[in-house]
Amino acid sequence: MFSVPGLTQFVSSGGAGTARFYSAPLPGATIVSGAGAANMSNVGMTALVSAYQDDTANPWNLPMDFYFLGTNYGKNLNGGMGWCSNFVISFSLSGNDITWPVTKPGVLLGNFDRATNTFHYSGLQTSGSVQYINCVLQGQNVYNDGVAYAVKYQYRLIKDPQYQYIEIRAAAAPGTQGTWRVVSGPPGGNVILATGAYVGTGLSGVWRSTATGTNWTWFGNSYVTF
């Protein structure tokens, strides 16, 4: 009797004895240093926002499990997820986002006074043990500056057996750096759990958490590969 660490064992018995077969675990995601190039094509994607929005919350039925502070908000569970036009990925969506983060937990991607021009997302995609959703976002740096499509991000929500990731790749990013943060929202007292850094044009960055959405950490000048 012996075992092979990290491998799954399958046992088959027959007239000639017992045979054991081993299957290697499916590969997961890896954060690597450097700039990930943004792909802004929205071909085949679903439009969650197709025209200018300011202070608007959009319910988003994310077609995979995605956790935040131990609660699964994917697949429309526990109030579901949402995209708020001020560039907030929200959990347990409620009301509009002008009072964020007072009313909801979420992840802020830059300037609090931004507005969304268009937002598209893909269906569920897989690679090995990795599940992910691809998103293409275009918006205004400031809601009333009159400059549409000044901000252009590709971002992906990624999950493997160990971690979750929110990866941002910037095709265009204005000089206003804004604020990047993860906030607990009530009833956790609106605690800032982690603070990220500005992702400039041509650059990328990654938020990573545990599989249950805790211990959020920022990785600047990085992207996810699998």
pLDDT score recorded for residue 128 = 94
The 10s digit of each residue's pLDDT in 135-147 is 999 999 988 899 9
Instruction: Give Cα separations from 107 to 104, 121, 130, 213 (angstroms).
Output: 10, 17, 21, 12
Q: What is the pLDDT of residue 116?
A: 95
Would you list the domain boundaries of the chain?
26-225
pLDDT top residue among 32 and 79: 32
- What pLDDT does residue 162 have? 96
Mean pLDDT of the chain: 85
* Longest CA–CA separation in the chain, Å: 78
Tokens of 179: 């604020």
What value does the mean pLDDT take over residues 10-38?
72
* One-character DSSP codes across 91-117: ES--S-STTTTSS--EEEES-TT-EEE
pLDDT in tens, 156-183: 999 999 999 999 999 999 877 777 888 8
CB atoms within 10 A of CB 49: 19
- Are 31 and 65 in contact, with CB atoms under 8 Å apart? no
- What span, in angstroms and rounded, lies between the C-alpha atoms of 28 and 130? 6
**pTM for the whole thing?**
0.86
Q: Is it the case that residue 19 has pLDDT exceeding 90?
A: no
**Under DSSP, is residue 74 helix (H, G, I), strand (E, B) or coil?**
helix
Quote the CA–CA distance of 141 and 29 in Å, as a whole number: 31
